[in-house]
Amino acid sequence: MSLVSGYFGVDFPDPHRGCVKIPIMNILGVMPVKVGIYNFLILVECFVWASASALASPATKTAHTVSTVSATEEGVKSPGTKEDQTRSGPEATSLSPVVLEARSALRQAQDYERKNDYQAARLLYQQAIKLAGWRDSKTRTAARHGLDYKLPLRETDWRLAKGDLVGAFSLLNQAVRANQGHPERLQKITALIDRVKSIHAERQSKEASELLLPRIKQRLADYRKRTGHYPLTVEALNAVLPADQAPLKYHDIIGYKATSQAYHMLVRSKTDPKHVLSLDVTGLIQ
């Protein structure tokens, strides 16, 4: 309490201007009479003011706290936060335009494969693998399986049906190299390779059969010109027509009977034992 301009005054805190002095006469509206009474009244006024400030402060602090918490919660739930932008995982990856493009390329490759457009399918499988990269392992694995295994086997069947043994064999050799870490796949690929080899042998045997008899006939005719007769013994015949050599690479002689001017011969296919050819040269056969 202090004396201001002849009046007793009291210091009151003001949140905007700091501490201000208010004359007691302004508070009570009367002139001071006794200092004791004034002191008592001043204490009462201070108590009332302090009580009001105490009641108001918790509410203000609570409101500030609630506002801070609400702002924090709003920041966590916001889809534009840094945490959401840097999130990694299936959900974020599946939304990537690059991954969507990779999956589209995979579906197109499978469609082209079913349509027997293998070159287009191969290019799209490669594109899907490149786009998927580390972003989508599932798509990358499916595309790699199609490119290395499914596509070559399907194309091999298609080429075999077309009679392209060379193309089929080349595809299977590439598939063997691409599937070294997959024993089950290699087993199926090897079975197809054996099938291609068998078809190739049958084809060569058929082609050889068409040329076989004329070639045998020519060999024996040349022998007769040199010696004056056809081969009369097995040793002489084997010298003219060695086994496992052309024209007998795919055939065996299972019967032979000859005179100096004629012969009769039976030849059997190695690839098809039921296929037997007969060759006769007119003349007297003993």
Q: Which of 59-68, 105-114, 272-281 has the lowest mean pLDDT?
A: 59-68
Residues 6 or more apart whose Cβ sits within 8 Å of residue 87: none
Q: Is the pLDDT confidence value at 22 over 80?
A: no
* Residue-level pLDDT at 24: 46
pLDDT in tens, 52-66: 555 444 444 443 433
Amino acid, res. 252 = D
pLDDT per position as a tens digit, 82-97: 333 334 444 444 458 9
Per-residue pLDDT for 120 more than 90? yes
For residue 84, the tally of other CB atoms under 10 A from its CB is 12
Residue carrying structure tokens 């099938």: 195
- Please state at what angle helix 183-227 crosses helix 151-162, rounded to 10 degrees: 30
Q: What is residue 14's predicted lDDT score, i.e. its pLDDT?
A: 53
Q: Is 15's pLDDT higher than 70?
A: no
**Local structure of 5: helix, strand or coil:** coil
Q: Which residue has the higher pLDDT, 144 or 86?
A: 144
Half-sphere CA count of 19, side-chain side, radius 13 A: 5
pLDDT tens readout for residues 191-214:
999 999 988 888 877 777 788 889
Contacts of 175 (CB under 8 A, 6+ apart): 148, 149, 152, 153, 185, 189
DSSP assignment letter at 272: -
* Low-confidence winner among 72-86, 93-107, 123-137 (lowest mean pLDDT): 72-86
Kindly indicate the confidence band of residue 143, based on its pLDDT and cuts at 50, 70 and 90. very high
- Using pLDDT thresholds of 50, 70 and 90, give the confidence band for residue 26: very low
9 against 122, higher pLDDT? 122
Rounded Cα distance between 23 and 166, Å, is 116
Percent of the chain at pLDDT exceeding 90 = 50
Mean pLDDT of the chain: 76
State the pTM of this model: 0.50
The size of the chain, in residues, is 286
* pLDDT confidence of residue 83: 35
Closest C-alpha among 248, 197, 199 to residue 220: 248
Token couple for 219:
């060999």
Report whether pLDDT(45) > 90.
no
Least confident span in 62-76, 130-144, 200-214 = 62-76
- Other CB atoms within a 10 A radius of the CB of residue 8 amount to 16
**Res 282: pLDDT:** 75
Residue with the bigger pLDDT between 187 and 73: it is: 187
